[in-house]
Chain A
Amino acid sequence: MRCRLNWLNWLSAAVLMLCCAFAAVPVRAVTLVDIYGPGQNMVNMALASPLTGPGKAATGLGRELGAAMEGNLGFLPFMRLTPPAAVLGGTVLDAWQGAGVDFKRFQIAGADLLLTAYWPGGDGRGGEVEIRLFETFSGKPVFSGVYKGVTGTSVPATADRICADIMESLTGSGDFFRSTLAFVKTAGSKKRDVWLVSPTGKGLHQITNISGTALSPSWSPDGRYVVFSHMDDSSHALGVWDRSRNRVQRIRFPGNTVIGPVFMPDNKVAVALSTNGYPNIFLLDHKFQRERVLEQSPGIDVSPSFDATGTKMAFTSSRMGGPQIFIKDFSTGQVRRVSMNGGYNTEPALSPDGTLVAFTRLTPQGHRIFVQDLVTGIERQVSFGPGRDEQPSFAPDSYFIAFASNRSGQHRIYLTTRHGGEPRMVPTGGGAATFPRWGKIPEEK
């Protein structure tokens, strides 16, 4: 029996490796969880203990990997993790593949999905990890993947890759776990720097350290640059951090005003400058030099935000009195006001798919985040304080929204979704954290 099991294991592993080559792939390209529709469904997932062999729960690295995956999946608002104590007979299985898995115990525990992990070197040697996701009621595989060369230091990154692939197989997008947030951290009364962190709190590190105040970071689509506005005692400047050289430069502009730079999909930058006498939105070329005006009025035009095609730009304008949200469609040249409620609406963030705009509204209770459907005009409040909720930013998947809030006293970064729901704090260490902005660093070859 043991020999047969081993033989079957080897055969299935070989087939799996042939199918997957070097990358993890979903077994089925079917979206099981609709995270974009109005009635977001919940899914219950159980995690089997990572195994080093049949009935042998991994210790050491394998346990670390299991904990990292559990921590990651806990960030997904549409996922409820089944407590191990709820599984009769426990989560250590005799097999990690469909045929030998006892799905019954997970069905009884209410799990819709079961995640198994097989890592022969999970006790310390490292090496190749096999991941499988099943529907518990049918036993059908939803996803399988092989992750090679996993070592102790690469456990967190591997957990991110696994969870990205799982999320993609369930929802169609796994960009959440592939993203890196740029944000601003306070280091003193006049000193703020740009830092990076994953949405789940990994890889926290500082990328700028210049005297003065950094604000409004923005990633280039290729992940090479972060631009930001920088202010010292005498001047504003465009700050540019080059990841390939780990170097920062300050670029000044006539008018001495640089507000809210943002990268466009073609790697050019849009930014509010007062070169013409008013803060208006300019396009900069690939060398960060002024190319042309994108939008201007005799009032204030700031905070541009683009969809993934670059044809729509949301921005804040005071052209009709108080600050309101407008959209410019570059294919027609038309500008329309989209925020119709409230007297103070600012900080628009257009979803990459171009269907929604999130923004900050000053309500009698303080600043709150709202999301408006650009097709129907229907508006939804997605944050409820207390304190100030501000600076929303859409993730590449157009589902998650990061924002800053001082609900716990000091400003921190939180995650919610286009549907709202209980915000989850992103661990960023000490110091006030503001201006979260999503980006993707290309994986090392």
Chain B
Amino acid sequence: MKSLKTLGLVMVMALALGLGAGCSKKTEMQTSTSTEDPAAALNAAVQTITDGIVYFDYDKYDVKSEYTGMLQQKAELMKAYPDIRVRIEGNCDERGTQEYNLALGERRARAVYDYMVMLGVNPDQLEMISYGKERPAVSGDSEEAWALNRRDNFNVIAR
């Protein structure tokens, strides 16, 4: 039941984001959520920010166009909830070597960090770290596993 409510809130927020732009969008979303349980709305925002993962091509750190919408949604939520702080965690697959992968993970985290700041997120709400290949999401020695490990995670560290 609770998850259904959460899903509903997310859908409301997504709809709100899709309807307007700029300040009017923020006002509309705050209005729509303020009529509901504020704590639940915050939980939903945190969930939305956390759930979306950005994946990268092998040895690349450019953000692919398919993720811009997701990142815009995260950015709007972070602007709506200025107490939310997010750590962007850059990761790599296991094929490369450790020091280069730490640098590559940093570039992946920074690429998303820069994009979020460009979208208007306060830099004080963001931090980033590279885990290189040290913290894989899935284990395995296949292209599928590698693709799932080349990623940026979004970890909400304050709310």
Chain A residues with a Cβ under 8 A of chain B: 190, 213, 215-216, 229, 231, 234-236, 256-257, 259-260, 272, 274, 277-279, 300, 302-303, 316, 322-323, 344, 346-347, 360, 362, 367, 390-391
Contacts and interface: CB of A to CB of B under 8 A. Distances in A.
A274 B109 CA distance: 12
B129 A235 contact: yes
Interface string B103-139: 1101100100000000000000001111100110000
B127 A256 contact: yes
B97 A347 contact: yes
16 contacts: A215-B98, A215-B99, A231-B102, A231-B129, A234-B129, A256-B129, A257-B106, A257-B129, A259-B103, A279-B102, A303-B99, A322-B59, A323-B100, A347-B97, A362-B95, A390-B97
Contacts of B135: 190
A231 B102 CA distance: 10
Interface string B123-159: 0000111110011000000000000000000000100
B74 interface: no
A272 B105 CA distance: 13
Contact of B107 (A216, A236, A279): A279
A272 B157 CA distance: 26
A76 to B, nearest CB: 29
A213 B102 CA distance: 12
Contacts of A367: 97
Nearest to A279: B103
B38 interface: no
A395 B155 CA distance: 42
Given A235-B129, A322-B59, A257 B134 contact: no
Contact of B99 (A213, A216, A234): A216
Given A279-B103, A302-B103, A256 B97 contact: no
Contacts, number: 76
B99 A257 contact: no
Given A231-B134, A235-B129, A257-B102, A277 B96 contact: no
A316 B99 contact: yes
Closest A-B pairs by Cβ, 4 of them: A279-B103, A300-B103, A260-B99, A346-B97
Given A272-B99, A302-B103, 18 more contacts: A190-B134, A215-B102, A216-B98, A229-B102, A231-B129, A234-B157, A257-B102, A257-B129, A259-B102, A259-B106, A300-B100, A300-B104, A322-B59, A323-B59, A346-B97, A346-B99, A347-B99, A391-B97
A272 B104 CA distance: 12
Contacts of B130: 236, 257
B97 A279 contact: no
Nearest to A229: B102
B107 A346 contact: no
A82 to B, nearest CB: 41
Contact of A302 (B87, B99, B134): B99
A259 B98 CA distance: 9
Which of A260, A322, A323 has the most C-beta atoms of chain B within 10 angstroms of its own C-beta?
A: A323
B45 to A, nearest CB: 22
Given A274-B110, A277-B110, A300-B104, A259 B129 contact: no
B106 A274 contact: yes
Contacts of A347: 97, 99-100
Contacts of B129: 231, 234-236, 256-257
Contacts of A391: 97-98
Nearest to B129: A256
Nearest to B157: A234
Contacts of A274: 106, 110
Nearest to B97: A346
A407 to B, nearest CB: 16
Interface in B35-62: 59
Contacts of A260: 99
Contacts of A346: 96-97, 99-100
Nearest to B127: A256
A234 B91 CA distance: 14
Contacts of A190: 134-135
